[in-house]
Structure 1
Amino acid sequence: MTEPTFQQFEANARAQGFDQVLELNRPADTLLDTHSHPFAVSARVIEGSFSLTVGEQTRHLQAGDTFELDADVPHVERYGAQGARYWAARRTRPAASPV
């Protein structure tokens, strides 16, 4: 299976109601201690690796992996020796109600 382009990722995210789509780069050995965001996120790791800890569960993510987080969920991000680049789709407003 081929990896999506950023444009494909963005189109898919917007079709799912995400209103911001960004490419983020985190430096090597960065620790973002417990924090949360006021938006839901769906993301795909493009390069590098990092660990994402939510509660007692830690996921080790690398290129090709995806993850999702609901808004206001406390988590920890720990980036590896090469840092990481990932695409993040954010839902900053409530999802539209089905008609």
Structure 2
Amino acid sequence: MDRETFTESLTKDSFPDAVVVTREANTSMDVHEHPFEAKALILEGEMVIRAGDTEQTYKVGDVFHLPANKLHAERYGPNGVTYLVGRK
């Protein structure tokens, strides 16, 4: 998905303005949760999200969507990751 289409989808789904997040290469976050729903578009690099027994790799152009309070872990690729995320 491209950035313009993604931004339009956030607006349609009533997300406030999106922010850009960058994570360093080869780092991770242990299992955690957020009190908000998150929908993000990968702009650069890649990341892996593990929720329960499911692990998914996201690369440039991919979108991930996490509901509020969903336990998950994150791992960032060899070039890190930059993503555009809407939170509500």
Offset, 1:88? 0.6
Q: How does the TM-score come out when normalised to structure 1?
A: 0.81
- Structure 2: 5+ residue stretches without partners: none
Report the Cα distance in structure 1 between the residues aligned to 2:68 and 2:23, rounded to whole angstroms: 20
Q: How does the TM-score come out when normalised to structure 2?
A: 0.90
Secondary structure in structure 1 of the residue aligned to 2:46 = strand
1:12-57 deviation per Cα after TM superposition (whole angstroms, max 9, x unaligned) = 3122111241111011011100000000011111110111000000
Q: Which amino acid aligns with 2:12?
A: A
Please provide the CA RMSD for this pair. Answer: 1.4
Percent identity, aligned pairs only, is: 31
State the aligned residue count: 88
Q: Which amino acid aligns with 1:77?
A: E
Secondary structure in structure 1 of the residue aligned to 2:34 = coil
Tell me, yes or no, if the aligned pair for 2:31 and 2:72 is still in contact at 8 Å. Answer: yes
Question: What does residue 58 of structure 2 align with?
Answer: 61
Question: What does residue 78 of structure 1 align with?
Answer: 75
Offset, 1:80? 1.0
- Structure 1: 5+ residue stretches without partners: 92-99
